[in-house]
Amino acid sequence: MPITASFDHETALVACARGDAQAFRDLYDHEGRFLLGVAIRIVRQREAAEDVLHDAFVQIWQKAASFDARLGSGRGWIYTVVRHAALNHLRRTQREISTEDGALEVLLDAAVPVDASDDLDTGSLERCLGLLDEPRRRSIVHAYVDGYNHAQIAARMQAPLGTVKSWIRRGLLSLRECLS
Amino acid sequence: MSFADDPDERRAQAGEYVLGTLDGETLAEFETALAIDADLRAEVGAWQDRLLGLARRAPPLVPPPALWARIATSIGGAEARPASALASATPSPPSAATPTSTPPAPIFAPASAPTPTRPPAAPRWWQRLGFWQGASAVAALAVLALATLLVLRPPAVEAPHYLALLQAPGGAEVGWVVEARAGGSLRLVPLAPALGGTPLPAGRALQFWTKPEGAAGPTSLGLVAAGTALTLPVSGLPALGERQLFEITLEPVGGSTLGRPTGPVLYVGRAVRL
């Protein structure tokens, strides 16, 4: 595995809050391709995903001063801004996501892609996800990765809405315990 | 909030908030709680990190070079941060170029928000429909909650009474509350760990500004210390009225030397009469 200096997201965000455009550019260069991948998976359209990434990065620049390093990592904060921008896009457009697309299911279960410059540790989370019952794990993955809401997960997994809600809630609480 | 006393419910809801499965009323209630509940914000922060590894299930995709160019244009070129919402007092002319700038926002009505002096290549944050919709929904709920508290108090004075919630641009977080009574005093109270959170960048200070509806420009109300309340006599304000703009910007130590905001807006909101 190549040695890469790990990127300091917190320092970059503090610099953005000061108006440091270079730090903002560095952040984009480091995370842009991962975040465009996250966005396109949720909104399913290239152009919409680019719009989401644009809006999210403008927000990151604007909101950098409100990032609170005591509450969590800079990277976690940035990914939430992008994911929520993508989810808001879906809510605005109310576009129906096809749950018939078998190709995406293949992607869902694919191994985590290897990227030489990726310094994000996914090991503990993957291990804890592996300990969940399959329906709970799949519900959480569909929600996070595909941006599915309760109803879409219920349709996809052919389960009652209440059951899906319970899978997610209990799955999350188990994950929390496993990761603590 | 219904989940206030159930730790598991709080944890699960914070997780669902990050996951994105909260919706409608539950989402609105959660965001209102988030604005005033530091422990809940900490739980959300922890969930952001717990679930982060799932982002790697989405294969990366290299953005086209044009996307960075768009972003750079939207934030105002290579170095300039977006101007303060108060920096230009030019009234917003009707413009076909910003059709999304008139959402039905009862509290923060962007129709009267100033327009930057240079023609924007893309809508600024205060012109973006999504921001104002989100901000006004959260602010409306928070105003309702605070107004309820205030109404429950015996009315001591009959002078007009105003409240403004100052929110982070683009975010739901309410950082400060401004409360003022005509002929009395104005109080600026920190709510969030208001910029509270991150230490102030070296060489920077927080400056408090106001611009009454229709005024030519903003007036400085002085510097404020992060996380510290401030009380001022209302007689020191240019005016006090409905829809008056209040904001906190990041400025050089000692404050802006130009008599108007020069740094990024950290928190901004308009006054409502109670």
pLDDT digits 0-9 by tens, B219-270: 888 888 887 888 888 888 888 888 888 998 888 888 887 778 888 888 888 8
Where chain B has pLDDT below 70, the residues are: 1-4, 77-158, 171-172, 192-199
pLDDT value at residue B140: 57
pLDDT value at residue B142: 60
CB contact under 8 A, B50 and A175: yes
pLDDT value at residue B46: 96
More confident residue, B240 or A53: A53
CB contact under 8 A, B12 and A55: no
Chain B residue closest in CA terms to A64: B266
pLDDT value at residue B181: 87
Residues in A touching B78 (Cβ below 8 Å): 21
pLDDT value at residue B86: 43
Can you list the alpha helix ranges (DSSP code H) found in chain A? 9-17, 21-43, 46-63, 74-93, 102-109, 123-131, 134-141, 150-157, 161-179
State which H helix or E strand residue B26 sits in: helix B24-36
CA distance A103 to A145: 14
Q: Is the pTM of this model over 0.95?
A: no
Chain B residue closest in CA terms to A151: B21
Residues in A touching B197 (Cβ below 8 Å): 66-71
Across the range A30-50, mean pLDDT stands at 93
CB contact under 8 A, B264 and A17: yes
Residues in A touching B201 (Cβ below 8 Å): 14, 17-18
Q: Which of A86, A87, A79, A180 is nearest to A120 (CA)?
A: A79
Residues in A touching B120 (Cβ below 8 Å): none
Option in B50, B67, B173 nearest A53 (CB)? B67
Q: Does A71 touch chain B (CB under 8 A)?
A: yes
CB contact under 8 A, A79 and B263: no
pLDDT value at residue A49: 94
pLDDT value at residue B226: 82
CA distances from B233 to B41, B188, B251 (A): 33, 11, 23
Residue from B22, B57, B250 whose CB has the most chain A CBs within 10 Å, to mutate: B57
CA distance, residue B164 to nearest chain A CA (Å): 19
For residue A176, pLDDT over 80 is answered with yes
CB contact under 8 A, A50 and B64: yes
CB contact under 8 A, B63 and A75: no
3-state secondary structure of B131: helix
Interface contacts (A, B; CB < 8 Å): 222
Q: Does A167 touch chain B (CB under 8 A)?
A: no
pLDDT value at residue A150: 94
Across the range A17-36, mean pLDDT stands at 93
3-state secondary structure of B266: strand
pLDDT value at residue A5: 57
For residue A120, pLDDT over 70 is answered with yes
- Is residue B248 within 8 Å of B166, Cβ to Cβ? yes
Q: Does A5 touch chain B (CB under 8 A)?
A: no
State which H helix or E strand residue B189 sits in: strand B185-190
Q: Does A7 touch chain B (CB under 8 A)?
A: no
Across the range A37-50, mean pLDDT stands at 92
Residues in A touching B166 (Cβ below 8 Å): none
Option in A67, A129, A176 nearest B198 (CB)? A67
CA distance B175 to B190: 6
CA distance A102 to B220: 59
- Is residue A167 within 8 Å of B19, Cβ to Cβ? no
CB contact under 8 A, B71 and A141: no
Question: Which is it for strands B230-233 and B265-273: parallel, antiparallel or unpaired?
Answer: unpaired
Chain A residue closest in CA terms to B62: A33
- Phi and psi, residue A23, nearest 5°: -65, -40
pLDDT value at residue B242: 86
For residue A122, pLDDT over 50 is answered with yes
CA distances from A1 to A96, A116, A145, A176 (A): 41, 7, 26, 29
State yes or no: ipTM above 0.90. Answer: no
Q: Does A40 touch chain B (CB under 8 A)?
A: yes
pLDDT value at residue B175: 83
CB contact under 8 A, B264 and A62: yes
pLDDT value at residue B190: 83
Q: At which residue do the structure tokens 């904060």 appear?
A: A77
Angle at which helices A74-93 and A9-17 pack, to 10 degrees?
Answer: 70
Cα A80 to the chain's mean position, in Å?
7
In A107-126, the residues whose Cβ lies within 8 Å of chain B are 107-108, 110, 112-113, 115, 118, 120-126
Residues in A touching B64 (Cβ below 8 Å): 50
Option in A18, A55, A66 nearest B171 (CB)? A66
For residue A70, pLDDT over 60 is answered with yes
CB contact under 8 A, B61 and A145: no
Option in A14, A33, A125 nearest B198 (CB)? A14
